[in-house]
Amino acid sequence: MSVSNSSVTRMPVPLALAARVLPLLPLQVLLNICLGEIRSRHPRIFDRLGSHTSKRYGLEPTDLPIAFVLEPRRMNPRITAVRTLPSNLDARIAGPLSALIGMTDGSYDGDALFFSRDIHVDGDMEAVVALRNAIDDSRVDFLSESVVWLGPLAAPIERLLRSIVGSSSLRHEMGAGGGG
Amino acid sequence: MELICPAGTPSALRDAVAAGADAIYCGFSDETNARNFPGLNFSRAEMAESIAHAHDEGALVLVAINTFARAGGFELWQRAVDDAVDAKADALIVADVGVMEYVARAHPQQRLHVSVQAAAANPDAIQFYVDRFNAKRVVLPRVLSVPEIAAIAKAVKCETEVFIFGGLCVMEEGRCSLSSYATGKSPNMDGVCSPASHIQYREENGMLVSRLGEFTINKFANGEAAAYPTLCKGRYQTSEGAGYLFEDPSSLDATTMLPELKKAGVSALKIEGRQRGRAYIERVVRTFRQALSALDQGLPVPSDALRGLSEGQSTTVGAYKKTWR
């Protein structure tokens, strides 16, 4: 549970409920296309990860009924959508989707989210710290870069996604550290 | 007063420059700097590119080579010095007298700053570094009150730099062995305090439990702000009850002390946090740039704007006001 003055937004309940019936296979195909795009645009992420490219990360949006297993292999990175995270992970990062996205686009500071209890981390902390630093340096804009392959549909779909998780500028205004 | 800002990555350096830093301090990706964390710091090429960018934008870059050189491994520190000079660093921040001697001998024109890790806390110690190695600035340890800082600034023939925001040590900088005791690794020799490789977080009975090596450091109830699992900020069970024996988990915020630090003759103000993300860097630097502008215009300095970014979500002015005396 986060501290009482947390400013991190949560996914609206109707959307979270809708995600329960979201088919995972098409989502997974889309996510892996996105990951391929990010890999080609941000090769430095893998340099910063170093030996941690072999780790398995569990990413758990706590306001959604789905989670993701990230395997950031340099040659063939993979992300798998799951209903429940498996136990054979090296590390787990859990928190509201907007917090997880906000850490990738630089609008939230991961340490501050930890202090405010908005995110939870466990497992191999070296792997967690390396991933956080690699992503932070990359300036990857996950939402924007995830839809770039959609061509003319990219802009409206990006707007839709941002309306769901909150724009990065709004997160900045709400306090980069979370917790006010 | 110059605003000296941290950067753990090239992106963070760019954000610090854009937010109004006068100078940025950073280090190479090895144990020559005191923030040797996974995925953090600069390759040689990144350092050169980042310094060039900072110079284009009118900012300086200070390269921290501020761990103590390992016996038998001095070449690593020498190479870091040579490479930082080649990359056109504006100053080197050094703690080890052997490394200082190398800088003064091999690169006599290179500006040298005495790192906080050198724990130079009196005019005689500082003057030694000035006389012997031509040090131009000393970063004062966080053990001094403002009147003590003023007395030092008046007595020494170099500039003084003090911390104004960020993680606070237990006032034994450069001499602390707590991390080494618990994990075998220390900020002084390895560049890591409480290394991530030895940290565990667990949920137990609704509480967040943090451990460092074999030691339970803290247990946080639901809704209670968390902190780094450092031994100095652990909550321990004693015969007198449970509590913070050494130091509360709290960050330094000296915003309210800026007028007094200016009056004390301080040359530069330093923000801690090379291990923090871009969001922290951008917001803290921007906030202090605005505070310094207000100070220069004689306006009230806004305070307590950064509590949400602070360890334990609380702040202190630390030793600047020694209220316990």
User: Mind listing the pLDDT tens digit for each residue in A34-70?
Assistant: 888 889 999 999 999 999 999 999 999 999 999 999 9
What does the block give as tokens for B281? 């860097």
Q: What letter represents residue B291's amino acid?
A: A
Tell me, yes or no, whether B148 and B233 share the same domain: no
The phi-psi region of residue B82 (left if phi > 0; otherwise alpha if psi is between -120 and 50; otherwise beta) is: alpha
Do residues A168 and A107 touch, judged by C-beta distance below 8 A?
Answer: yes
A120 touching B, CB under 8 A? yes
A125 touching B, CB under 8 A? yes
Which CATH number goes with the domain that contains B153? 3.20.20.330
Residue B232 annotated as binding site: yes
C-alpha–C-alpha distance, residues B270 and A85, integer Å: 42
What pLDDT, on the 0 to 100 scale, is given for residue A157? 84
In a domain, B152, yes or no: yes
Q: Which domain holds residue B110?
A: 2-168+250-320
Select the residue from A90, A111, A172 to test the B interface by mutation, using most B Cβ atoms within 10 A: A111
What's the residue count for chain B? 325
Residues 50-89 of chain A whose Cβ lies under 8 A from any Cβ of chain B: 50, 52
Tell me, yes or no, whether B92 and B136 share the same domain: yes
What pLDDT, on the 0 to 100 scale, is given for residue A169? 57
Last residue of a domain, one of B244, B270, B291: B244
Domain residue extents for chain A:
13-174
pLDDT of A179 over the 50 cut: no
Last residue of a domain, one of B244, B266, B295: B244
CA-nearest residue of chain B to A129?
A: B38
In a domain, B119, yes or no: yes
Q: Which residues of A114-145 are buried (b: 16+ CB within 10 A; e: fewer)?
A: bbbbbbbbbbbbbbbbbbbbbbbbbbbbbbeb
CA-nearest residue of chain B to A124?
A: B197
Residue of B39, B200, B308 lying closest to A129 (CB–CB):
B39
Rounded mean pLDDT of A73-88?
93
Do residues B280 and B19 touch, judged by C-beta distance below 8 A?
Answer: no
A136 touching B, CB under 8 A? yes
In a domain, B67, yes or no: yes
Q: Which helix (H) or strand (E) element contains residue A60?
A: strand A57-61
pLDDT tens digits for A103-150?
988 889 999 999 999 999 999 999 999 999 999 999 988 888 878 777
B207 touching A, CB under 8 A? no
Tell me, yes or no, whether B7 and B133 share the same domain: yes
Residue B26 annotated as binding site: no
Residue of B39, B276, B311 lying closest to A130 (CB–CB):
B39
**pLDDT tens track, chain B, 325 positions:** 999 999 999 999 999 999 999 999 999 999 999 999 999 999 999 999 999 999 999 999 999 999 999 999 999 999 999 999 999 999 999 999 999 999 999 999 999 999 999 999 999 999 999 999 999 999 999 989 999 999 999 999 999 999 999 988 766 777 888 899 999 998 888 888 899 999 999 989 889 999 999 999 999 998 898 989 999 999 998 888 889 988 888 899 999 999 999 999 999 999 999 999 999 999 999 999 999 999 999 998 888 788 888 888 888 988 898 776 5
**Secondary-structure percent of chain B, ordered helix, strand, coil, rounded to 5:** 35, 20, 40
Q: Look at A22-31, A79-88, B11-20, B110-119 and tell me which has the smallest mean pLDDT.
A: A22-31
Judged by DSSP in three states, B149 sits in: helix
- Tell me if A176 and B275 make a contact (CB, 8 A cut-off): no
B293 touching A, CB under 8 A? no
B202 touching A, CB under 8 A? yes
In a domain, B173, yes or no: no
Tell me, yes or no, whether B121 and B202 share the same domain: no
> Total domain count for chain B?
2
The dihedral built from the CA positions of residue A142, A148, A150 and A152, taken in this order, carries a sign that is positive
What pLDDT, on the 0 to 100 scale, is given for residue A143? 81
In a domain, B219, yes or no: yes
- Tell me if A107 and B279 make a contact (CB, 8 A cut-off): yes
Tell me, yes or no, whether B84 and B227 share the same domain: no
C-alpha–C-alpha distance, residues A165 and A15, integer Å: 11
Tell me, yes or no, whether B37 and B138 share the same domain: yes
Last residue of a domain, one of B193, B224, B244: B244
pLDDT of A170 over the 60 cut: no
Tell me, yes or no, whether B128 and B210 share the same domain: no
Contacts for B158-161: CB closer than 8 Å, 24+ residues apart: B158/B126, B158/B129, B158/B130, B159/B267, B159/B268, B160/B265, B160/B266, B160/B267, B160/B268, B161/B2, B161/B4, B161/B113, B161/B137, B161/B266, B161/B267, B161/B268, B161/B269, B161/B270
What pLDDT, on the 0 to 100 scale, is given for residue A175? 46
pLDDT of A166 over the 50 cut: yes
What is the CATH number assigned to the segment(s) A13-174? Answer: 3.30.1050.10
CA A53 to each of CA A41, A80, A145, B264: distance values in angstroms, whole numbers, following the listed order: 17, 16, 21, 49
What pLDDT, on the 0 to 100 scale, is given for residue B78? 98
What pLDDT, on the 0 to 100 scale, is given for residue A17? 83
